[in-house]
């Protein structure tokens, strides 16, 4: 038997495949749900069962390998090595418990009315653009500012410096793409150092631990004699600030575009948002490294080899989802993997859901039917989203 090379069926250097990877996912899944990708030198999983196994298998870890030993990478390295996302038990268990305890102190549920208020303000901005230009860009005017404002408020980020967040975060996430350039790497390293230094100062101001924000709670959080070290604290805050908006911006834009293209009635916001996240998932690829030989589907991932779960492919698997390419706003059950699975399951899922449900419901309540005037995709595969999505009320 000749093994399938995933690169032949899923050419990630082809802009058309990046623009719409779903037909290629389907072809690859049908041929080999776990296949070797020659150019990248990793295994890729495209079925729901295999991706789910990759995310849950304890012999597959998120193992961060520090980049080059040069000094300028130092901060980038510990920002990752000391974060929850890039650690494994027992360190992950300890960090996750500390972060979860700070996170669950009613911060998210208390945010509901505030998210509604922020959304209403942003919808007024959309209306002003519509009046002036005949359309509004739902990314720039709603999908992007809302989660940035919310995560900034949650962490207690100074209002005057909110404009710093998005550029730092955008520079850092370029490191997660497969086709990044040396310039983008240098920008990510510089942004990491600036971001970390800023957060470290901010955390030092919160040492009294009396503030009513998540950063103060993280500073104060104690678990028996355990607590977060300075690097762990800064790495966690930076991760929350980044993870806390990047995927939400793209999840909203992608899902809304899918809804509008389908022409379906949106129905209740809760199932609608799950379908938005399933149909065109904002985070497409997560890697793991085998700590011993492990069988996934019918292949053996050898110790030291990497395997990627392609979440967008898993979420269109016909073995789990009826008519997977169709956008069905009331799909139930909807066991998508857009928030991951297993021990790294997204800690921010309740917040992301609340933001998306509130904003999509308010947008649709204000405008009824909308139509797309102009849509520009980002050229990236891992973080899938729109650069611009201009809308106007349907005529």
Whole-angstrom Cα distance, residue 281 to residue 89?
27
CB of 383 to ligand HEM, least distance (A): 10
As a whole number of angstroms, the distance between CA 252 and CA 241 comes to: 17
Q: How far is CA 19 from CA 166, 379, 385, in A?
A: 23, 7, 10
**Known catalytic residue: 126?**
no
In 138-178, beta strands by DSSP E: none
Active site residue 346: yes
Q: Is 338 in the site for ligand HEM (CB under 6 A)?
A: yes
51 included as an active-site residue: no
Contact between 352 and ligand HEM per CB under 6 A: yes
Verify binding: residue 49, ligand HEM, rule CB under 6 A.
no
Instruction: State how far the Cα of 124 lies from the Cα of 131, in Å rounded to an integer.
Output: 11
The DSSP output letter for 3 is P
**Hey, what are 83's tokens?**
């974060």
Nearer to ligand HEM, 327 or 339 (CB): 339
Footprint (CB under 6 A) of ligand HEM, residues 225-284: 239-240, 243-244, 247-248, 251, 277, 282-283
CA distances from 201 to 84, 121, 167 (A): 21, 31, 19
CA 345 – CA 55 distance, rounded (Å): 9
Only one of the segments 3-11, 192-200, 333-341, 371-379 lies at the binding site for ligand HEM (rule: CB under 6 A); that segment is: 333-341
Indicate which single residue of 344, 357, 380, 391 sits in contact with ligand HEM (rule: CB under 6 A): 344
Residue 351 phi, psi (nearest 5):
-70, -45
For residues 76 and 339, which CB has a smaller minimum distance to ligand HEM in the complex?
A: 339
Residues in 90-149 that interact with ligand HEM by CB under 6 A = 96
* Token pair for 154: 């949650």
Selected catalytic residue, list 7, 140, 190, 346: 346
What's the CA angle centered on 288, arms 286 and 289, to 5 degrees?
Answer: 155
- Asked if 312 is part of the footprint of ligand HEM (rule: CB under 6 A), the reply reads no
Cβ of 113: how many Cβ atoms within 10 Å? 9
87 is catalytic: no
CB of 170 to ligand HEM, least distance (A): 16
User: CB nearest ligand HEM: which residue?
Assistant: 348
Cβ nearer to ligand HEM, comparing 9 with 351: 351
Catalytic residue among 246, 274, 275, 287: 246
- Cβ distance to ligand HEM smaller for residue 135 or 380: 380
Q: For the chain, report the end-to-end CA distance as a whole number of angstroms.
A: 56
Stretch near ligand HEM under the rule CB under 6 A, chosen from 2-10, 134-142, 346-354, 384-392:
346-354
DSSP 326: S
The answer to whether 52 touches 168, Cβ cutoff 8 Å, is: no
- By the rule CB under 6 A, 85 interacts with ligand HEM: yes
Query: Taking CB under 6 A as the rule, does residue 172 contact ligand HEM?
Result: no
Report strand pairing: 136-137 vs 386-393: antiparallel
Question: Has 192 been annotated as catalytic?
Answer: no
Active site (catalytic) residues: 243, 246, 248, 346, 355
Residues that bind ligand HEM (CB under 6 A): 55, 62, 84-85, 96, 151, 239-240, 243-244, 247-248, 251, 277, 282-283, 286, 338-340, 344, 346-348, 351-352
């Amino acid at each position: 038997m000749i093994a399938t090379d995933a690169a032949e069926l899923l050419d990630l250097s082809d802009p058309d495949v990046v623009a719409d990877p779903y037909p290629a996912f389907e072809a690859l899944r049908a041929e080999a749900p776990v296949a070797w990708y020659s150019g990248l030198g990793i295994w890729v999983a495209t079925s729901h069962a295999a991706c789910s196994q990759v995310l849950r298998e304890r012999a597959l870890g998120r193992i961060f390998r520090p980049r080059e030993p040069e000094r300028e990478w130092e901060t980038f390295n510990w920002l990752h090595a000391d974060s929850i996302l890039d650690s494994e038990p027992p360190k992950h268990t300890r960090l996750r418990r500390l972060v979860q305890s700070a996170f669950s102190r009613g911060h998210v549920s208390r945010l509901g009315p505030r998210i509604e208020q922020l959304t209403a303000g942003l919808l007024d901005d959309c209306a002003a653009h519509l009046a002036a230009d005949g359309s509004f860009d739902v990314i720039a005017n709603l999908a992007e500012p809302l989660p940035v404002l919310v995560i900034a408020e949650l962490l207690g980020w100074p209002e005057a410096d909110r404009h710093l967040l998005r550029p730092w975060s955008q520079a850092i996430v370029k490191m997660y793409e497969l086709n990044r350039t040396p310039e983008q790497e240098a920008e990510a390293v510089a942004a990491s150092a600036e971001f970390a230094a800023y957060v470290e100062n901010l955390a030092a101001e919160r040492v009294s631990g009396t503030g009513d924000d998540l950063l103060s709670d993280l500073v104060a959080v104690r678990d028996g004699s355990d607590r977060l070290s300075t690097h762990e604290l800064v790495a966690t805050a930076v991760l929350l600030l980044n993870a806390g908006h990047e995927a939400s911006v793209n999840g909203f834009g992608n899902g809304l575009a899918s809804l509008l293209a389908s022409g379906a009635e949106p129905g209740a916001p809760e199932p609608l948002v799950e379908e938005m996240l399933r149909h065109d998932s904002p985070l497409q690829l997560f890697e793991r490294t085998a700590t011993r030989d492990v069988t996934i589907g019918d292949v053996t991932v050898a110790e030291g080899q990497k395997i990627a779960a392609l979440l967008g492919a898993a979420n269109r698997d016909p073995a789990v989802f009826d008519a997977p390419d169709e956008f069905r706003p009331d799909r139930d059950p909807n066991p998508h993997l857009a928030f991951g699975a297993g021990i790294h399951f997204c800690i921010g899922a309740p917040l992301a859901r609340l933001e998306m449900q509130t904003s999509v419901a308010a947008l649709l309540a204000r405008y009824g039917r909308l139509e797309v005037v102009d849509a520009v995709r980002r050229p990236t595969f891992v973080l899938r989203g729109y650069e611009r999505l201009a809308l106007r009320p349907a005529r």
